Structure 1
């Protein structure tokens, strides 16, 4: 695990159902050491993201053919999976495998909802980026295999920018020249800590330090001198009126997207989740890693990792583990990318033309190399509101960076002590 902090903003998904095709009859043969008690199950049940179920079909067919185990899946809103598992588990109707954002792993493990992976080999984990495996790890134990990564990048309108600036200084100079008459050179939701974090981390701020391979919740770097410098830098964009106050707050995202889709913005900081909407609006978009900060360091954005996890309620844990090994191999990850455009963390695929020659996918893949996974510990929930409030307080001129961040740290410490047994 790396000394880091991290994200997130989990993508919203909705409840639906799809049944996967499988063998007419499940096999009942046994394989020593496989599944609970060596019994091969007739089927495994999987909860998948909304509208992503069909992307499983390719991998399911080969798994069913090889092992004779039917795979059934349904699509469940990821923000409701923990709540649903807590209900379905005791009722005996929980699935064997689920997909959740990595920052939900800590809370899910704490609630007893996920099982540690105990049969996954080093050969399997080595096919993924180190940071994505870190994201699937909680308290030194592996609780899933990664299937997709997401992180903000620079998205630009090719009608205004022929190529992406390499540095934030270049981007700021471009914005100073371009921003007028209702048009903007660059927009970002920098009052939102998910996006602002990349700047704080790039300057040397951090959320939690590391101790003995785990996050140390008593070591907070949210208000160190480097974090203060980063927020001061963010504030210069507002002081120079390059970022409008109109995109501050909970409606900032829709305002930013609206302006970009109307052709009034040359570039934005956003994630892969925005690509389809921009293209649908008729914008010819390009994408690149975020430009380097004035200190020469990269913008170390938060990285979200979606993974496949085995539930603690499964009676077929080893077979469930074998299934997620199968669906995340390079071949199946590549097929999933073709169908969903979700960026796989399989390192072999980063040089595959399907990603390397795809400008948008390549930008996310490259930015992910400098990104840090969100801490997946429950205490991270205490970080978001105070830090968001701190940055907003600064850019609206209500306090200086040091005072605002000192107050944020105090609030975070108090909330961790009150809500997490004083860890």
Structure 2
């Protein structure tokens, strides 16, 4: 649930900044020394007008949390509390299917629409920053992100500028049901042996989800400057990793096992699959279903060393609408 709470805290940070932007500063006061007042020769002063109430603000917020998921449930609870704590801000919420989120955002913003802010992975942050479709909030959040790690802030930055408030860090791991699998496999050989022996394990195949296995075989796709690593030794390691993944894939097909995180959700939470590879965004749903039976471990190490899954950052980004300017 930590991820969920951080996501919604980001929403409240944005809303609180909106309140700060709409409000004025408190005027300075001077200390008054009591003295005997002279007799008044003027009519008594009229009563000071009541403090002006902040005008209502209406904003639109998009998210892609699944219906009924732990993330959506937590978001709903925080929005209900936000309505109490910030009664002058009306937050209109739109759930957008994740696979449509970035396309819909780009299309709607190009047509002059879209949300005021949204929560999403930083997958498209660079392209959105270059296209000028999300706002540079560097000055807006200056000195307000002290509790956020440097790594998380970096995930919401492009070219030295901040384009969102970090919500969570995420990476793919090996989740397992201890009633069905008491210990996680320590190595890639152990994992393969389990699957060959009939233990039902849902491996999520696909570039993002299986990326960590490249590290298990000592393979790199990019160097530190994001150039492709093309030397012969590295390509041999990439081939070994892909050959291993193909072996697992063939076992999955032969045994009718789920081969992506969506198809694996129900079998894992219902106890018909012993383990699944997926990101920590699914932890709330897994924990709700399995309770203390849920355990997590890294993707297994291999002959090339430890696995190295991609590290992603989700965050709340602001569009170019003038809400917080």
Question: Matches of 1:284 and 1:127 in 2, distance apart?
Answer: 32
- Counterpart Cα distance in 1 of 2:176 and 2:136: 41
Q: Which has the higher helix share?
A: 1
- Name which of structure 1's ranges 279-288 and 267-276 shifts more when overlaid on structure 2: 279-288
Q: Would you say how many aligned residue pairs link Structure 1 and Structure 2?
A: 268
Contact 1:200 1:231 (8 Å CA) reproduced: no
Aligned to 1:56: 78
Which residue of structure 1 aligns with residue 40 of structure 2? none
Question: Which residue is equivalent to 2:167?
Answer: 147
Structure-1 residue corresponding to 2:304: 295
More deviation in 274-283 or 97-106? Answer: 274-283
In the alignment, does 2:253 pair up with 1:246?
Answer: yes
In structure 2, the residue matched to 1:45 is: 59
Distance 1:80 1:261 in 2: 26
Of 224, 227, 237, the match for 1:229: 237
* Aligned 8 A contact 2:187 2:302 in 1: yes
User: Structure 1 residues 160 and 123, CA, compared in 2 at 3 Å: closer, same or farther?
Assistant: same
Alignment partner of 2:91 out of 64, 68, 72? 72
TM-score (structure 2 length as normaliser): 0.64
> Is 2:190 aligned against 1:173?
yes
- Report the equivalent of 2:203: 188
Q: Secondary structure at the match of 1:286?
A: strand
Of residues 145, 151, 154, the one that matches 1:125 is 145
Task: Mark the runs of 5 or more structure 2 residues left unpaired by the alignment.
Answer: 1-14, 26-53
Call closer, same or farther: CA 1:87–1:63 in 2, change over 3 Å.
Answer: farther
From 295, 308, 323, the equivalent of 1:316 is 323
Structure 1 position 116, deviation (Å):
0.5
Confirm or deny: 8 A CA contact 2:196 2:251 kept in the other structure: no
- 1: CA distance between counterparts of 2:114 and 2:243? 48
Q: Which has the larger radius of gyration?
A: 2
Using structure 1 for the length normalisation, give the TM-score: 0.51
- CA RMSD, 1 decimal: 4.2
SS of alignment partner, residue 156 of structure 1: strand
Find the partner of 2:154 among 118, 128, 134. 134
**How far, CA to CA, are the matches of 1:99 and 1:154 in structure 2?**
25
Q: Is the 8 A contact 1:176 1:242 kept in 2?
A: no
2: CA distance between counterparts of 1:247 and 1:145? 44
Displacement, 1:168? 1.4
